[in-house]
Amino acid sequence: MHFSPEHPDFELSPYTGLTRKHWIDAGKYILEGVFRHVKTMDDPVLVPRYETEVTYPNSRTPAWKVQAEYYEGLARSFFIAAPLISIEPDIVIDGKKLREYYKDHILRSCTAGDEQYVLSYSDMDKDAEPSFGLHTYQQTVETCAVVIGLVTTKKEIWDTYTKEEKDRIAYFIRDYAQGTTATQNWRLFNMLDLAFLNMMGYEIDKDKMREHAQAILSYYAGEGWYRDGHSFDYYSAWAFQVYAPIWCCWYGYDNEPYIAAEFEKNSNELMKTYDRLFDEKGQVTMWGRSSIYRNAATAPLAANFNLRNPLADPGLARRIASGALLQFFTRDDILYEGAPVLGFYGPFTPMVQGYSCAESPLWLGKAFLCLELPGDHPFWTAVEKNGVWESMERGDVLETVLDGPGLAISDHHDNGTMILRTGKVVKRVGDDNGRWCYAKLSYNSRYPWESDIAGGLSAASYVLRESDIGRTEQINSILWSGKRNDVLYRRALFGFDTSSDLHWTSQIDLADFPVANGLVRADKLRLFHKPVDVYLGSYGFPCPDAVYRIERHSDAQAVIMSGHGSDGKVRHMAMTIWGGWNDLSVEKSHGTSADTGESFIIFAHAYRKKVFSYDPYILISQVITKEGDEGFSDDEIFSIAGISYTDVQQCGGFGPVSIRMKNGREYEVDFAGIEGKLSI
């Protein structure tokens, strides 16, 4: 049974109807589903599993990580439970008094000899194989959730422990705070652990705190985004831009004012454009790893209010947070026996990573940290706003290009979607999950990415088939060159491996620009091996009842689809091809969509026979989408009025290519100069 808000308030919240009370109800809704599997007050927070091969614990899981599952369930559910306990100290869920449950189980998790002891850092590290002190453990992540909850429930839980019990918990937290951590967003876990200890009167190593903090600052790429490892994704939001503002409040302002000021500036910089990453409904896009955390992507909006000088707009922040909550919580398929599934909507194993367990999706509880803001805070009292969506008119597209993280965000008024184009992507050969999460040509807020269909073809991506050597090549890296004269330039690399010279790597130079309902592509082939068949997939069309037709206009052809989505609404998608392509086809796929069991993908196809032959280089295509009974007009499907090439052969091998649109706009695609501006 999905979450159904009672008595929505459309005066305070004209877009979602949700108020603080509805958020409290939503938190209780999730915890009721989870705690029905906690049979007694002595049992851990464990939920039923349906997937046992990718996620842990499995046959390859070390003993210490089996205990980590207990800690994930406890700590991540505490994200939701802690604010509710603070608001309603005597809250009871499924017959269990939450205050007593978490007080007892947090202590048990730190108590050696208890069956729910999750092992200290020292206990695990003393028996580990020598690795120069580089061991990292999942429990480090969870300590941070625990200390955030303990600060939230200081009066209700922490202050009720005896001194000996406080010391036992503090010793356990200190062990992880001072232990080795992953040198990316994990440093923030150690920082908040140390900050918690300092707040509670325990001595800490301030030099170690400072070392972690300076490293976090060094990951900052600009425009509010931090690089996590070598990637840019929502970890900038739900780790860097949630924990850093909390750290400022707990520790930084008083002890490290310069670093705190930088964190504040970076958070406020994110607030200038972060709202544009959500579509007209406030929906989150399936992109990057750990998409099982879903609406946790909204957490930095509320976290910004931990700062002394926050810039987030409270009415807009709540609108997005509530829109994303409704995106997921109003669907029946996001739960498996009451607990959030390992998927974006329903269960979807292709997107799941091996570091997750059945309880990992409870990290979506970070979105509920907004409940730490008091009831009279502007986050709860301001009237909802919808940001840039309120000022756009028919045909408008707002494009936001962020060179720091290599992201291009386009908000499309006519269909309400947000389309994200990424760069600065490098994934190892064979990392299919990494390709799907990061290296699609674009990500659409209404059309989740799809895994590869049989035969290796892929939605929203190019694929090369080299039949003479029996090889299929996929894009595993995308380099960023930036926007010039309204056109975004990037480069896609196939099977890129730094051990090989770049000239032995097949490449496609990417050039694209937004139109009212989607994107136009004008990409250039840079292939060293032929014969080759080139395929380009549309987004997956998650409408099992879809029907389609083929239309032709002059030298262009299109496939137009219509069907009903999982929400019952009519959807439309069209893919149109111009110069350089040979034909279009449609494939029905099973099990590749995160939204529905069956989906359809349109594929453009071109073939090139000779290596050193001057054939068409520029592949021009368009994918557009729409919802509602009204389909596409001819001018939307065949949006290009004319194409002009520099070379007389009209192949686009050199010089600018001019694309004249029927709406009167003209775009000049010119790849000259992008070579020296490529970046990762």
Among residues 559, 517, 334, 557, the alpha carbon closest in space to that of 419 is found at 517
Residue 42 sits at φ, ψ, to 5 deg, of: -90, -15
pLDDT bin (cut points 50, 70, 90) of residue 502 is confident
**pLDDT 10s digits, 556-600:** 999 999 999 999 999 999 999 998 999 999 999 999 999 999 999
> If you average pLDDT over residues 273-302, what whole number do you get?
98
Asked if pLDDT for residue 443 goes beyond 60, the answer is yes
Residue 582: HSE in the Cβ half-sphere, 13 Å Cα cutoff: 10
Distance of alpha carbon 547 from alpha carbon 545, whole angstroms:
7
Pairing of strands 397-402, 547-553: unpaired
**Predicted local distance difference test score (pLDDT) of residue 172:** 98
**Predicted local distance difference test score (pLDDT) of residue 216:** 98
Q: Let me know the angle formed at the C-alpha of 492 by 487 and 495, rounded to the nearest 5 degrees.
A: 180
Asked if pLDDT for residue 22 goes beyond 60, the answer is yes
What is the share, in percent, of the chain residues with pLDDT greater than 70? Answer: 99
Asked if pLDDT for residue 127 goes beyond 90, the answer is no
pLDDT bin (cut points 50, 70, 90) of residue 215 is very high
Asked if pLDDT for residue 552 goes beyond 60, the answer is yes
Asked if pLDDT for residue 129 goes beyond 70, the answer is no
**Predicted local distance difference test score (pLDDT) of residue 64:** 82
**Predicted local distance difference test score (pLDDT) of residue 186:** 97
Mean of per-residue pLDDT scores for the chain = 96
**pLDDT 10s digits, 331-351:** 999 999 999 999 999 999 999
pLDDT bin (cut points 50, 70, 90) of residue 133 is low
**Predicted local distance difference test score (pLDDT) of residue 66:** 87
Helices and strands in the chain, H and E counts: 17, 26
Residue with tokens 């999706």: 361
Residue 40's identity, in one-letter code, is T
Asked if pLDDT for residue 210 goes beyond 80, the answer is yes
All domains of the chain in start order, with CATH: 24-384 (1.50.10), 397-677 (2.70.98)
CB-CB contact of 247 with 263 (8 Å): yes
**This prediction's pTM:** 0.97
**Nearby residues of 593 by Cβ (< 8 Å), 6 or more positions away:** 348, 448, 450, 540, 542, 599
User: Looking at 88-97, 132-141, 268-277, which range is the least confident one?
Assistant: 132-141
CA torsion sign for 536, 410, 595, 296 is: positive
pLDDT bin (cut points 50, 70, 90) of residue 131 is low
> If you average pLDDT over residues 417-426, what whole number do you get?
98
> If you average pLDDT over residues 147-171, what whole number do you get?
98
H or E segment to which residue 79 belongs: helix 63-87
**Predicted local distance difference test score (pLDDT) of residue 1:** 79
CB-CB contact of 495 with 439 (8 Å): no
What is the share, in percent, of the chain residues with pLDDT greater than 90? Answer: 95
> If you average pLDDT over residues 665-674, what whole number do you get?
97
Q: Which residues of 332-367 are buried (b: 16+ CB within 10 A; e: fewer)?
A: ebbbbebbbbbbbbbbbebbbbeebbbbbbbbbbbb
Residue 465's identity, in one-letter code, is R
**Predicted local distance difference test score (pLDDT) of residue 128:** 67
**Nearby residues of 242 by Cβ (< 8 Å), 6 or more positions away:** 299, 300, 303, 366, 369
> If you average pLDDT over residues 259-272, what whole number do you get?
98
> If you average pLDDT over residues 101-105, what whole number do you get?
98
**Predicted local distance difference test score (pLDDT) of residue 521:** 98
pLDDT bin (cut points 50, 70, 90) of residue 640 is very high
More confident residue, 455 or 195: 195
**Predicted local distance difference test score (pLDDT) of residue 503:** 87
Residues in the chain, overall count? 680
**Nearby residues of 186 by Cβ (< 8 Å), 6 or more positions away:** 136, 140, 141
The number of beta carbons lying within 10 Å of the beta carbon of residue 166 is: 18
Residue 556's identity, in one-letter code, is A
